[in-house]
Amino acid sequence: MSILAILEQREGQWNKMSFETLAAAQQLAKELGTTASAAVVGRGIGALANELASKQLEKVYAVEHDLLKDYTPDAYAAALRQLVEAAKPTLVLFPHTYQVRDFLPKLATGLDRVAVSDVVGHRVENGKPVFVRQLFQGKVNVDIRFATDGPNFASLQAGAYRADLVAEGTAPVEAFAPQLDAGQIRTKPLELFRESARAVDLGAAEIIVSVGRGIKEAENIPIVQKLADALGAELAASRPICDAGWLPMERQVGSSGQTVAPKLYLAVGISGAIQHLVGMKGSRTVVAINKDPNAPIFEIADYAIVGDLFQVVPELTAAVVKAKG
């Protein structure tokens, strides 16, 4: 039994979810009575590997190759397959990033395994890990076990483990040079780019009123705008609202939009799909207004009004105006 955490970097910068995965690997190793190692993949990653050498790990693998400079699923899956076959971990953990979603199922399939994706927690039963993930957009949880011997694979949802719990220590760094051939890489990645100008920095807002599918039509947006104005808040939205063009993309909160942590976050007509929650669950006080009492947003709400937003929001706006007098 041993655990390997595969960490993510781009151009020498950590993806911050990497350290959540590192903390999870250390925690699971402790609970399972084994050790954790970590790997970083890319080109020119020496400094990152050295940073890991000061963590409580059995070993740090620096998986380096010219063909790993820019991410491609073919090169990453091939390199990691070689690493897994050489290091023989029982359990391999990943941050559930967009990049991991792109190559992990390929890696696992190549080794005749199924990865448990988007894990939100775990427990250990009879010396084996049981992973918790969500079904139906977060409405239901499920416990999942591996039916196969290692290597087994799991990816961890943003925020499911605490990066600040990473234990310090010392670990040797081992270079791992995978055998890769340019001919096996079928996709050609081009430049990264951003589209919206980001004129709105939701990250700096103290109060955010955020609107979701429950608003039904673009014509109804002023109902929540009035509440935002009364509170002196920024107006934000979940993805479907921005996709529909009812609010600009730069006001989107969630994994593909902005991550926010205001003092007060009011979610109006937002069910609380995982992709939205990862963008706002650091908010200090969360208020949810939704007509579905089982909406997952209520699980992280401090205050909740179960009701029709078209009745509740105008009353709330009036009450805020009165309270601020």
Partner 1 sequence: MKIVVAIKQVPARDSQLRVASSGKWIEDADLSYEINEPDAYALEAGLQLKEKHGGEVIALCAGPARAATTIREALAKGADRAIHIEEEDLGSYDPLAASRLLAAALKPESPDLVLTGLQSDDLGYGQTGVILAELLGLPHATIIMHVDAEGGAIKVKRELESGWFQNVEMPLPALLTIQSGISKLRYATLMGIKKAKTKEIKRLTAGELGVSAANARITLDRVYAPERTKQTQIFDGPAKEAAAQLVEKLKFEARVI
Q: Interaction with partner 1 in 222-261: which residues (CB under 8 A)?
A: 231, 239-240, 243-244, 249-250, 255-259
Interactions with partner 1, residue window 188-217 (CB under 8 A): 188-196, 198, 207
What Cα–Cα distance (Å) separates residue 26 from each residue in 134, 181, 302, 316?
A: 23, 34, 31, 46
Cα 85 to its chain centre, rounded Å, is 27
Binding status of residue 124 toward partner 1 by CB under 8 A: no
Cα 212 to its chain centre, rounded Å, is 20
Binding status of residue 306 toward partner 1 by CB under 8 A: yes
Q: How many residues bind partner 1 (CB under 8 A)?
A: 94
Going by DSSP bridges, is the β-strand pair 13-14/9-10 parallel, antiparallel, or unpaired?
antiparallel
Binding status of residue 319 toward partner 1 by CB under 8 A: yes
- Taking the complex as a whole, the smallest distance from the CB of residue 168 to partner 1 amounts, in Å, to 28
- Taking the complex as a whole, the smallest distance from the CB of residue 176 to partner 1 amounts, in Å, to 23
Cβ neighbours for 103, distance < 8 A, ≥ 6 positions apart: 73, 76, 77, 80
Interactions with partner 1, residue window 284-303 (CB under 8 A): 284-287, 292, 294, 296, 298-303
Longest CA pairwise span in the chain (Å): 70
Interactions with partner 1, residue window 142-181 (CB under 8 A): 142-148
How far apart (Å, rounded) are the C-alpha atoms in residues 301 and 323?
Answer: 22
How far apart (Å, rounded) are the C-alpha atoms in residues 29 and 91?
Answer: 10
Cβ neighbours for 169, distance < 8 A, ≥ 6 positions apart: 54, 55, 56, 57
Interface pick for partner 1 out of 117, 151, 171, 236 (rule CB under 8 A): 117
- Taking the complex as a whole, the smallest distance from the CB of residue 169 to partner 1 amounts, in Å, to 30
Binding status of residue 93 toward partner 1 by CB under 8 A: no
Site string for partner 1, 34-73 (x = CB under 8 A): ---------------------------------------x
Interactions with partner 1, residue window 126-145 (CB under 8 A): 130, 133-145
- The answer to whether residues 235 and 247 touch, using CB atoms and an 8 Å cutoff, is yes
